Structure 1
């Protein structure tokens, strides 16, 4: 979480600086937000490129995507690009519609998609759509007339889907033969047969940006429903999915579900804090742990008011069960959402090379296309000989910071004792934790950049492979960076009061920083650039209004948001038994987090593309792994509970037998988690039946095509 907060600080600082440099463009964009409502442009000579298909002809066209070209673009080059965009597939084109913006000398190309291109891409992507009987079915172009709203593309496909299809078709542009790009200097102008045209233009600097366009009326309506209403719960998930796509909708759905799921542990934490005094807290307030199990257990027995079962034990067992039930219920909700949004049956497609992929041009043995090739053994060599040691080096720096924290902690504690517990030294007791927090923040930001550069240097061909390697690097470091000290305190020092103090410091400090970066800074940025005195300029050219959207910063993605939630989940599931109010603090943070994240994506960044997705992807697996680790963590923390130590002393159990007992309990709890996971199906019964129906109808349609 701390890494994410620091990342957010840097992102917001960069955002403020960026906006200051582009204030004029921002003003134009804000005027455009108020004045531009023309989401369809008329067709005619000299405007949109023409289509030959009768069913795709229309008097008005919806602008979907904007391509920003180099300022030095030659009209002949722009005309050639537009011809490639509009050409039919058999001629190597994308079968899209292109508009020159203001004129052929401008550096803009507005792109849309005709009906048939949208429908064929819908089938290629494997999207499911409502059938004429109301059920969901995998879309088939041959059977297109059997689907609902087939004649209205704005009803049949969401805005996010239409815009992603345009991107999908643009990225599929390939040269049919060796040729030259007119108006581009050597050697960037040379295109080889089957080479990706858009990647070539981006590498040559001809294409600067490609991004989807906002529908300002829909964005305002979504904003009012999403973050402007004065309500704590509920989000317009269907509207979010329709406008921003499944990637954004799944994140906000998970954040909403997770926030609701924090209510039971928050209520339990408050009850345990008020009604069941924790031996950990009592010993922390009355005396320090000696480190000896016998002495610690006696300390817990000295107070006759302590119940036989402590808050520590109740919270530990609850955390293990809660994490399992929460993830299983989320998987059910996720499958229901993917069914509702038509992404339950996405098609597996052969991945195209990612834009950053480099290599010698050659023939791909799978597709027969000419594309960059890079030997797998070279990539593995880079991973094994460079990436692994660099990641290990940063993990060593985490250990070095942890050693410094312990040294500083011991020094301040000794100073506190020598001074007789003065007010100043009492305040200084939290200084080592704060200093270590700053250290982990700085180290985390350095590592974030290094991890991205390492993954780029590894030169992965597919985007999914790149994202998986990058995510794995960041997750390993994040887990080690944030939890190493807590695990060391719990497993090796066995100092529960110190663990509680450390966890409280992390939660309180990070929540304060998070509230500032999530609420105050975005509000100030928006207020500074959105003064009510600004007047709408009705006579602004349409191209200027579109150009203003490109002045906004690129949306940084949801990587940082998921990392924050993962660290939160780790604090709660792994260590909340020593600080029951963990869920309360997280709940208060997330209630505001939902609205703040919604505000930022709607108003402060350029609209992102969103590919159709069926779930959270690798993040779901990361949360499940943390759930299993929580069993080991909580079992060990149970061993440190004074009540358990009291029981082992009375029973006369040796240390060896206690460890064996703990291992047995751990295995029993893992079996209980597995049984719970088995008892709670990953998808509701109705979703399972509908999914099998979709698979059956798809297989039946395929057999009919063969015959």
Structure 2
């Protein structure tokens, strides 16, 4: 590594900024290379001394047994430059690939669990840019940085006071971040690959299809699976959209699209407008039954698609390693009884008390605010209905939608406030593992989101039994969300990119890479996919739970999601800093949330079917009392639930070829372990021979 040739086109703009002789050295002969790929940038505080920076670089390049990350580092322009460029040698990347449990293509082209011991049996094992994706290489660097631990008590040079004291087994990166020495760590963008991806992605002329493999290679598993799910969900909206469009405009007796009406009618419980009294029972029933079947088939087919993608992307057999404490975890330093290591410890009973005595009451308080907003909505709705009944004008008919609009704005503001509070509460609960933190945070937000978005709709349907108000409320939600989403997905990104991203756009390819790093560091960090999944979950709830009262639901969602795909792609490529993305085998806890909504769709649609005016008239003409009809609907509900369970059982979660590939991977792994045990036992017996 005494000389460094010009980087490949994908990394040339960054590599030219770093002097060849300034990269740290590697001791492993197979890791010596004429090409070094800068992967991650560490942003230091402005007042960090040069000896502190040198100590950090020494620790990053130190071997694992010395508490380091065994990575390559470069000081940048000079020793006083407030950034450290990090790369990774070959052996570090290969060993981390085995630790993560990634599958890679072997010499025969089959995906197999990678083993460092048998590395020569895999393709492209000597070319890391072909063997691992850019996202995988950058995540491995992050993983190794976060794994650095001090082997003994010491003081960090240049940091006075307790902030500079580093205890044995203490996480080095977390210590430097808490001390304010390291301000940020982020992966470097590859502008040429990013521009090529953009042309293939959000600038493409065709309406359907996404370059999922390219997205996975550049952005990683979590982002690739989100866009794969969004793409699959958008395609799945076509059948219910066609059915809803046909029912609305072509089926005799179907309700027309909702809109203001200048009449003096006042809808009552279980009633619709005058036009809705002619609602076709068959149309209502077809839409309800189709929604129940569609939601189940959609989720089962997605599981099969997820399995196929996880095999193709090598994440079918990810390992569940013992997790290190998350960066925000705090506690008294002690001996972990599981690992025997010194690390911060926090009693579980204290965490449970925080959850039970503080978090749950605060969540309950926000749920109470949802109920308060619902009561205000009903009061305004009744007031506007009285005004409309008195005047009967087109103006009052239009203003009758004002309570719904006001309540939608209220729920959105309340939802934004709650998400901030939920994040603070989860941080205060002090969870040790990142997975526990994410699960508690997601559960809080999901409970509130479900209550905030669907409580009014369920109350209108189940208690007030007012299908007219339910349809008007649902149409208001969908139309307003269309306007807001189109504004945020199209107008806002254009304005931000046009007027507020000039520092990045003004750079040329031949400008110094230090300027590119400076501009990249000025971009805001990617906010994550949490809100994107929430939006899809709410959409799915509207469609699966209540679309039978407003058949155009799927049509509006389909139009929205076509724009959503390109808007999200444009934002993540141009408006934010590139995020780290760990290898993933699916969409995680969100899949369970979608399945829960699919289960509730049976009860919701059966009840709405029971409230259909024509069905009520039919049962009255037949001389059936409401109790008998209700018992019959409950029986039908249970039959449909059983049918959903049977349907989910019939459709396998994995295609047959993926199941066979999984079994082959497990078999090859078992045989490799047996072979290693035999070799180890033979080696152990040699001295006794």
User: Shorter-chain TM-score: what band?
Assistant: over 0.9
Structure 1 pair 586/282, CA: closer, same or farther in 2 (3 Å)? closer
Q: Equivalent residue of 1:208, what SS? A: strand
Structure 1 pair 298/411, CA: closer, same or farther in 2 (3 Å)? closer
Pick one of 318, 323, 338 that aligns with 1:346: 318
Pick one of 179, 190, 193 that aligns with 1:204: 179
CA distance in 1 between counterparts of 2:322 and 2:245 reads 52
Q: How far did 1:290 drift?
A: 3.9
Kept in 2, the 8 Å contact 1:515–1:589? The answer is yes
Map of 2:269 onto structure 1:
291
Pick one of 477, 487, 491 that aligns with 1:520: 491
Q: Equivalent residue of 1:231, what SS? A: coil
Pick one of 370, 375, 379 that aligns with 1:403: 375
Kept in 1, the 8 Å contact 2:39–2:138? The answer is yes
In structure 2, list runs of 5 or more residues that go unmatched.
1-8, 679-689
Structure 1 pair 117/538, CA: closer, same or farther in 2 (3 Å)? closer
Structure 1 pair 36/617, CA: closer, same or farther in 2 (3 Å)? closer
**TM-score normalised over the length of structure 1:** 0.91
CA distance in 1 between counterparts of 2:540 and 2:151 reads 51
Structure 1 pair 637/127, CA: closer, same or farther in 2 (3 Å)? same
Q: Equivalent residue of 2:198, what SS? A: helix
Kept in 2, the 8 Å contact 1:511–1:585? The answer is yes
CA shift digits 1:389-422 (9 cap, x unpaired): 1101110110010001001100110111112x01
Q: Equivalent residue of 1:103, what SS? A: coil
The answer on 1:248 being equivalent to 2:223 is yes
CA distance in 1 between counterparts of 2:383 and 2:501 reads 51
Map of 1:475 onto structure 2:
446
Structure 1 pair 681/322, CA: closer, same or farther in 2 (3 Å)? same
Kept in 2, the 8 Å contact 1:338–1:614? The answer is yes
Map of 2:604 onto structure 1:
633
Q: How far did 1:310 drift?
A: 3.3
CA shift digits 1:92-122 (9 cap, x unpaired): 2111000001111111100010000000000
Matches within 5 A, 1:502-581: 502-529=473-500, 536=507, 540-581=511-552
Matches within 5 A, 1:303-382: 309-382=281-354
Structure 1 pair 359/59, CA: closer, same or farther in 2 (3 Å)? same
CA shift digits 1:317-371 (9 cap, x unpaired): 1100000000000000000000000000001100000000111111111111111
Pick one of 113, 118, 143 that aligns with 1:168: 143
The answer on 1:215 being equivalent to 2:190 is yes
In structure 1, list runs of 5 or more residues that go unmatched.
1-33
Q: How far did 1:424 drift?
A: 2.1
Pick one of 435, 460, 474 that aligns with 1:464: 435
Kept in 2, the 8 Å contact 1:278–1:310? The answer is no
Kept in 2, the 8 Å contact 1:37–1:217? The answer is no
Matches within 5 A, 1:635-654: 635-654=606-625
Q: How far did 1:541 drift?
A: 3.6
CA distance in 2 between counterparts of 1:298 and 1:154 reads 64
Kept in 2, the 8 Å contact 1:336–1:684? The answer is yes
Map of 2:84 onto structure 1:
109
Kept in 1, the 8 Å contact 2:504–2:519? The answer is no
Pick one of 366, 375, 392 that aligns with 2:364: 392
Kept in 1, the 8 Å contact 2:331–2:345? The answer is yes
Q: Equivalent residue of 2:202, what SS? A: helix
CA distance in 2 between counterparts of 1:41 and 1:706 reads 47
Structure 1 pair 45/64, CA: closer, same or farther in 2 (3 Å)? closer
CA distance in 1 between counterparts of 2:505 and 2:118 reads 51
Map of 1:624 onto structure 2:
595
CA distance in 2 between counterparts of 1:298 and 1:483 reads 23
The answer on 1:695 being equivalent to 2:633 is no
Question: Cα RMSD (Å) of the superposition?
Answer: 2.2
Map of 1:496 onto structure 2:
467
CA distance in 2 between counterparts of 1:111 and 1:278 reads 67
CA shift digits 1:29-81 (9 cap, x unpaired): xxxxx998435459877411000111100112000000001111111111111
Q: How far did 1:299 drift?
A: 8.0
Kept in 1, the 8 Å contact 2:248–2:256? The answer is no
CA distance in 1 between counterparts of 2:88 and 2:257 reads 68
CA distance in 1 between counterparts of 2:34 and 2:308 reads 38
The answer on 1:122 being equivalent to 2:97 is yes
CA distance in 1 between counterparts of 2:372 and 2:501 reads 46
Structure 1 pair 278/180, CA: closer, same or farther in 2 (3 Å)? farther
CA distance in 2 between counterparts of 1:456 and 1:280 reads 49
The answer on 1:225 being equivalent to 2:200 is yes
Q: Equivalent residue of 2:184, what SS? A: strand
Q: Equivalent residue of 1:60, what SS? A: coil
CA distance in 2 between counterparts of 1:302 and 1:354 reads 59
Q: How far did 1:699 drift?
A: 1.3
Structure 1 pair 45/282, CA: closer, same or farther in 2 (3 Å)? closer
CA distance in 1 between counterparts of 2:616 and 2:347 reads 58
CA distance in 2 between counterparts of 1:508 and 1:501 reads 11
Q: How far did 1:587 drift?
A: 0.4
Kept in 2, the 8 Å contact 1:42–1:59? The answer is no
Map of 2:425 onto structure 1:
454
Provide the aligned length of Structure 1 versus Structure 2: 667
Structure 1 pair 391/278, CA: closer, same or farther in 2 (3 Å)? farther
Q: How far did 1:232 drift?
A: 1.0
Matches within 5 A, 1:6-25: none
Q: How far did 1:705 drift?
A: 1.6
Kept in 2, the 8 Å contact 1:276–1:310? The answer is no
**TM-score normalised over the length of structure 2:** 0.93
Q: Equivalent residue of 1:600, what SS? A: helix
Map of 1:266 onto structure 2:
241
CA shift digits 1:432-457 (9 cap, x unpaired): 10110111111111111111111011
CA distance in 2 between counterparts of 1:686 and 1:623 reads 26
Pick one of 122, 125, 131 that aligns with 1:156: 131
Misfit runs of 4+, over 3 Å = 34-37, 39-46, 277-290, 296-303, 529-541
CA distance in 1 between counterparts of 2:101 and 2:311 reads 12
